Structure 1
Amino acid sequence: MTPADGPRPVERRLPTEEARDLMALVREIAEREIRPSAAEEEEAGTFPRATFERLSAAGLLSLPYPEEHGGGAQPYEVYLQVLEELAAARLTVGLGVSVHTLACHALAAFGSKEQRAEYLPAMLGGGTLGAYCLSEPTSGSDAAGLRTRAVQDGDTWVLEGTKAWITHGGIADFCTVLARTGPDGSRGITAFLVPGDASGLTAAPPERKMGMAGSPTAQLHFDGVRVDDARRIGEEGQGFGIALAALDSGRLGIAACAVGVAQAALDEALAFTAGRRQFGRRIADFQGLRFMLADMATQIEAGRALYLAAARLRDAGQDFTRQAAMAKLFCTDAAMRVTTDAVQLLGGYGYTTDFPAERYMREAKVLQIVEGTNQIQRMVIARYLAGPPAGRMS
């Protein structure tokens, strides 16, 4: 196969025959049902709800969770490669699956046996879609500074406040919400599972973003939203730890999505440079461009190896916080470089919406920001290397 023939399947090392069959299904759905309409739907700002229902029916919204509650019981090593394939076809879908998985994490990992039995089957395989509500207008990177408050009133909690930058805001069927139930700081936060149609829960108009127009991102307003105590996840005051545990896994999802977008950009650049001729030969034959392609491919392979190594630590039950931060940092920075180079390789065509390279470049940028900016990832990594900072420099 030549680069001009279009995207080439990534050669993957999958641990079981079941995983290989799963990946074949994902590739079929991506190529037949997602990629063909991606550009048109992104331009129109259309959210592919039917696609998520299709993924749910195929068991692709539940992959890393136990079978007993409707999960796919797949290791993170496999799940992340599925995310990469979906993101390569359309980031709105890949990132949406990652966010949904993140929204299920708190209940799956910290919920009671009764809560998991009651809520998880519908969350994992019932065609529903989740949102993760941590960030606020005044507390993004400083998650411990959140102000949304939950006050107990008998057997219910009353939530007041605003969450910001919420993927699936306004369309989610359920929300994992972190709210303040105690004093300021990380120890006064509690997690709740809130129905998407709860009385008093409203969404602001979606943000107007430079990319991912098909994925709604909106503020959510909690105006006297009542939630039964039976929907409190974990112990009161345990929410910050629950949030951090979810984010470690979520950052690996973002890393995989970034590699998917970068791979799609490389495929586009390979096809274009193989088919475009200047000065009597393919532009892919010019050494300067060949070196760019080689660098792009190397960054993608390195990023893929990094997120898979972190996933294997997670699957083995070992600490992977540092490696997750490294994977998120490296993969998203690499995606930004690779997509920028793809636009350059296409020349003037890369700057037009007739080719997807410019869309990949716009989409890659957000991945350096979501689920902890890359500056925050550097802080996490440095803390593991050198310990917490001793104090402010004068």
Structure 2
Amino acid sequence: MPEGDFAASLHARAEALTEACIRCGACFSACPMTGPAAIADADPAATVGGILDLLAGGDGTPDALRWANVCNGSGYCIPACPEGINTRFMVQLARGYARRQAGEQAVRRTARDNYANMARSARILSRLQLSPEDAARLTRTRPEPGATPPEVVFYTGCNIAKTPHMALLMTDILDAIGVSYSVAGGTGNCCGVQQHRAGDFAAQGRMAFGTTENLAQHGAPLVLSWCPSCQIQFGENTLPSYAAIHGATPFEMAPVLPFLAARAEQLRPLMRHPVRRRVAIHERPALPAIMDAVGTLLALVPGLEVVDVPVPRIGVMAIHVVGLPEHKRALLTQEFAEAKAAGADTLATVFHACHREICHLGDASFEVLNFLELIGESMGIAHTDLYRRLRLLDDVDAVIADTAPMAAAHGLDLETVRTVLLAEFGG
């Protein structure tokens, strides 16, 4: 791919958005972040006009810049648009254009450093928890030569490697219902989100299109994503640009959980063991079909009761709620209190990034699990949540001592391990 093709495709899409938007401001009015970001009193139409100015290469407005920077991808803006525009893509693309104003060198440095830090963290944390064999199982990048194409590719993305028990549970569930699949993931198959956020569109195109070609090599017509951020990046960003450049896409990408939910009748007889819990779900609104699927899957578990927790839902995952830490903490405090008031004894996370932030926050009467652990318990399969165990050690030196055999098995440098653990767990 010529380096400029992807950036040019984004520019063309920015122009199309600018022409299609009627500047009504409905997307701004639907956004749950305007109040916490202290811009609720801004003029909606003028703020959207500032977003369009950023897409056209202008400076935007202070309110538009603030809005773009606090956007966490919740997606409430999309159904609010009377013109059917994907306003989430519009605002986040404008954020990328705004960040490009720092200059090409600064943009490239930010994208490179953010990706390098993410890749190092995912690699080290996964290897502290996985045997070399399981690590290879979850990060394969090429199909076996001459292999029959699978029914689907399970695309793990990058950061689920930090909580690998989720990926292992998912592969066991796919095995149990007889799906023919291959696995692709790891930082060598990144979706390019770090480059997109930084505004380094050329690097994003190289990485995302490289991953597209790698996924296509498996020969499956359907790629199932685990990570909602990856799904949004490919579904709303990469694959539309790929189609614009190449005329078509080599596969369809869809979230894995609705795929599983559509096979509920295959899963139902496998749920042999009752799981007697009252469960609140740690929901995220960005891709509603995924939350519907989680409800369908948990309804298959005998003995399990899901309780409703009426709290505001924001973000693609917890990691996307940036710039407003006090607001995020307040929502989490409210969610824990509401869940306990509703009689829940379990808070079930869905996504890996959310799980990393709260898995260690339970108490004697209230446990935080990933919902796949509940599915697995009913099916009689289990993988230990080693990330939570390490988090609960609450001491980097203790984690290093605990994981020394795995570090040695993978040949990890202990100073690099310490650096990653300090960044992940703090002192």
TM-score normalised over the length of structure 2: 0.27
TM-score normalised over the length of structure 1: 0.29
> Would you tell me which structure has more strand in proportion to its own residues?
1
